[in-house]
Structures are given as structure tokens and as C-alpha cells.
Amino acid sequence: MRTHRLIEIDWPEYSMPVAPARPSRDSLLANLSAMRAAMDRRGYTHLVVYADREHFGNMLWATGFDPRFEEAVLVIKPSGKPVLIVGNECYDYTQVSALVVAGDVRVERCQSLSLLSQPRGDRRRLLDIVAAEGFKQGDKVGVAGWKYYSPAEAEDSVHALEVPSILADGLRKLVGAANVENATDIFMHPVHGLRARVTVDEIAAFEFSNSLASAAIKRMLFAMKPGMTDLEVYAAGQVAGLPLGCHSTLSLGANKNLGLGGPTGETVVAGGPMSFNVCHFGSNIARSGWLASSARDLPRAAQDYVDAFAGPYIAGVSEWLSMMKPGVVGGDVHAMIAQKLPFETFGIFLNPGHLIHHDEWLSSPIGEGSTDELASGMYMQIDIIPSHPVYGSSRMEEGIVIADSKLQADLRARYPDVLARCLARRDFMRNVMGFDVPDTVLPLSDSAGIVPPFFFAPHTLIALS
């Protein structure tokens, strides 16, 4: 593994990406064709996609629409226009979808999908609207929510659904319980999932999201001072208005062990650990370190934080990056992290890296014993989370795309400025910060390679030799 050192440098500046266009009609029609091809392989007469505010990723990919406040259901048949079923407040918002605007998808209002106590004057029940799409006994139906199950998790994992009972029971009544299957893997499986590979249009959109999130993180770090509240720190980030993929976290003080906690009014006090993130659709930038200017501000037992913990961790991340190439087996990546960053010291419990998309966690080819291979087009999150009772944590949570020469050439042809920034970030990570970054890695964030262990000294960064 690389050896670490502290350096003092200014953060690099990159040009700001242009806000991307919404998904085009052509790209969404291609997604519809891919879904129908997957239906054909499974022998499905219908594919039913469920979404709500938190579990929106499959619906957004399929239609360009994500539900706000409410739930939504998409019903697809092998031919004809799919129907998008939404509640009161989403009805007009469906115009965000190019497919809806073009008339390629029909929209139906079901007020039962609306919030409680809203108007219910339209008495059409959800099951009646769904049934009108030609379901009959013996049809084979796939249902996609946001999760599928292994045989170890559910006695009948093929038929175990995570969507609301009103939809699951209704579909089982229409076609027979044995004919309704969990089809979420069509979208989210790390190998064959339709969203497990990104297009050049998605790379451009996610780079924009990453740039805004990393800019907010930078503003927070450079504004942070003792005596501020965590609310003031977050406000200093000027977090852009893109939808959040998860709640923004900010853990310090009495909340230091609440990894998913947000700002509460806690005061920034020197000498304690801190973790925080900003997560938009398509990005999550997170950092962990100490509220300090140098190791002298840390508790005595933690003053070797960089040498004993953060430095070796960053060296492990470098080795992780070196393995981000098509054909590398996910189980080998897991084994490397387990060896280089042993659990008894670094406490890494979750998968060391996973797929990210519109939603912060899609699935992961990386896991103990996984035989899944990394592939070009995988959008990977460097989500390797260490934890120690004395040293706290360290983090360089970023998004990178694994891209072979063809994908990079396609990106250059369509979005030359996006590729240029990715290559500039990769050069910085390699040549300034010392990370072992292969040619197949495209970093999407402006903070890639930047890890300040002491948050009151954001120019002091961990580099590798």
C-alpha cells in the first residue's frame, strides 16, 4: 500500500458543468424498449412499477417522472401505451416526463394515491384502474418496487413483494398469487439490472449533481469555525435546489454517533469528531474527520489519528481505486479491503463500495464471496465507511464511473467538456495526491482525492507517496 503524508495545497478549480437537459423522449423510449425486452425474457404479460417519494429511482429512470408527496404506479404491457397512475398533486407534474408530453404514456388519476383527507370525489379505485389494463387469470406479472429478496431472507422469495398491500393483493386477485413475481432485479441487480450501467447522458447529469454537492461540502469546510452551530455550517454550504437523494447528515458533539442525524443546533467545538454529507439525485459527497486545526487539538489517545487510522484508510481507498476495472471480481475487492483495512481496527461493516444512480444506493457487485464482475458503465460510490471508538472515522465518499475506451470515446463525442473535467480530476488524484487511479476511472466530483483530516485546516490534505 502507498505511504501517506500531509501536504498543504489549494483545492483545484474546475469549470462548472452546464445544467443537463431532462431525459429526452428518445432516451426514455429506449428505456421502455429495454423494459419490454426484459419482460419478454421473463414471459411477463405486464410489468408493474411502484414508486413513492423515497423509492423513486426505477420510476424516474423509466419515465423521467418522480413522485412528489405521493405514490405512483406504472403499468407496462408488451405493446401499446403504458399507463402512469398518480394522485392529485402529481397529476400536473407528470408533464415533466417527455413520454407524457408526447402522448407515449397515458396518465390516470387515482385519488387513493393522494395524501390523507385530500379530495376523493373521483371514486375510481386503484385496482379498477389497474385491471383496465387487461389483466386476466393466468397472466404472469412482474412487480418492481425498490428491493428483491434472496431465498435466505424469504421463504418464497420469488413471490415476496415489498409494495403496498392494496397493490400486491389486488394483482394477486386479478391473475392468481402464483403468477405475481418480484421483478425489481430487472432494474437494480448489479449485473443484469437495467440501471446498473449508465449512459453518457446520465454521466453528464450525474457529474453536474456531483459538482453542486462537492461545492457545498467545500463551502461548509471553509466556513467552519468553533462556536458556529451545525445549522450555520449547513447554511454556509448554500446547498443547491436539486432534489436530495437522502437527508443531509451532520453529526458532531452529542450527535457524533448518530451517523444519519442531521443538523439540530449542536455547537461546533474543537477537539471532537464530525461527519457530514450532501446527497443530490445522482451524487453523494461525504467526509469524516476532526474539528481541529492539527493533531494537537485532538484527545491525547487520538493524536496519532493520521498515522494510525486516516492515512492507512486513504491508502486502502487508493488500492480500491486501482481495482476499478472491467472484469475485476467483486469478491476480490471485498477481500482486499478486509485484508488491508481489517475489521478489528477499521470496523468496515457495509459493502466497501456500491452502485449509485438517481438513488444513493442501487445495489453492489462488491461483497464477501461475490462472483459478480465489474463492468464498463458501472457508476460506483467510494462508500467505504470506517469506524473506531477512539479515532472516529475518515471518508472520501465520491462517485466514479468505470469506463472503457469505447465509453470514454462516446462521452468525448457527446460531452467533451465533461470528459475533460473527469480527466483533469483523475490527473489531480494521480499526480498531486498520489492515488493509484487506472485509466478506466472517471471521477465525477470536484472534491475527488481531497481528504482534510482536520476540518479547521481544509488546506491540509492527506496525500500518498
| Tens-place pLDDT, residues 227-256 | 999 999 999 999 999 999 999 999 999 999
d(CA 165, CA 204): 38
Residue type, 231: L
Q: Mean pLDDT across the chain, nearest whole number?
A: 97
Residue 331: how many other CB atoms lie within 10 Å: 17
d(CA 84, CA 75): 7
| Tens-place pLDDT, residues 32-89 | 999 999 999 999 999 999 999 999 999 999 999 999 999 999 999 999 999 999 999 9
45-182 CATH pick, 3.90.980, 2.40.128, 3.30.70, 3.40.350? 3.40.350
Closest CA to 126 of 108, 103, 100: 108
d(CA 229, CA 71): 36
CATH 3.40.350-classified regions of the chain: 45-182
Contact indicator for 206, 379 with CB cutoff of 8 Å: yes
d(CA 214, CA 201): 20
Instruction: Say if residue 2's pLDDT is above 90.
Output: no
Closest CA to 465 of 82, 1, 4: 4
| Tens-place pLDDT, residues 314-341 | 999 999 999 999 999 999 999 999 999 9
Write down the pLDDT at residue 371: 98
Instruction: Say if residue 123's pLDDT is above 90.
Output: no
Write down the pLDDT at residue 259: 84
Q: What secondary structure, in 3-state letters, does the chain show?
A: CCCEEEEECCCCCCCCCCCCCCCCHHHHHHHHHHHHHHHHHHCCCEEEEEECCCCCHHHHHHHCCCCCCCCEEEEECCCCCCEEEECCCHHHHHHHCHHHHHCCCEEEECHHHCCCCCCCCCCCCHHHHHHCCCCCCCCCEEEECCCCCCCCCCCCHHHCCCCCHHHHHHHHHHHCHHHEEECCHHHHCCCCCCCCCCCHHHHHHHHHHHHHHHHHHHHHHHHCCCCCEHHHHHHHCCCCCCCECCCCCEEEHHHCCCCCCCCCCCECCCCCEEEEEECECCCCEEEEEECCCCHHHCCHHHCCHHHHHHHHHHHHHHHHHHCCCCCCEHHHHHHHHHHHCCHHHHCCCCCCCEECCCCCCCCCCCCCCCCCECCCCCEEECCCCCCECCCECCCCECEEEECCHHHHHHHHHHCHHHHHHHHHHHHHHHHCCCCCCCCCEEECCCCCCCCCCECCCCCEEEEEC
Backbone φ, ψ for residue 307 (5° rounding): -70, -35
d(CA 343, CA 353): 15
Plot region of 301 (φ>0 → left; ψ -120 to 50 → alpha; else → beta): alpha
Contact indicator for 362, 354 with CB cutoff of 8 Å: yes
pLDDT band at residue 260, thresholds of 50, 70 and 90?
Answer: confident
Instruction: Say if residue 211's pLDDT is above 90.
Output: yes
C-alpha dist (Å) from residue 306 to 227, 242, 383, 391, 428: 25, 34, 19, 9, 21
Beta bridge pairs of residue 36: none
d(CA 73, CA 167): 9
Backbone φ, ψ for residue 290 (5° rounding): -125, 145
Residues above pLDDT 70, as percent of the chain: 100
Instruction: State which fold the 4-11+196-464 domain adopts.
Output: Creatine Amidinohydrolase (3.90.230)
| Tens-place pLDDT, residues 334-348 | 999 999 999 999 999
pLDDT band at residue 112, thresholds of 50, 70 and 90?
Answer: very high
pLDDT band at residue 301, thresholds of 50, 70 and 90?
Answer: very high
CATH 3.90.230.10-classified regions of the chain: 4-11+196-464
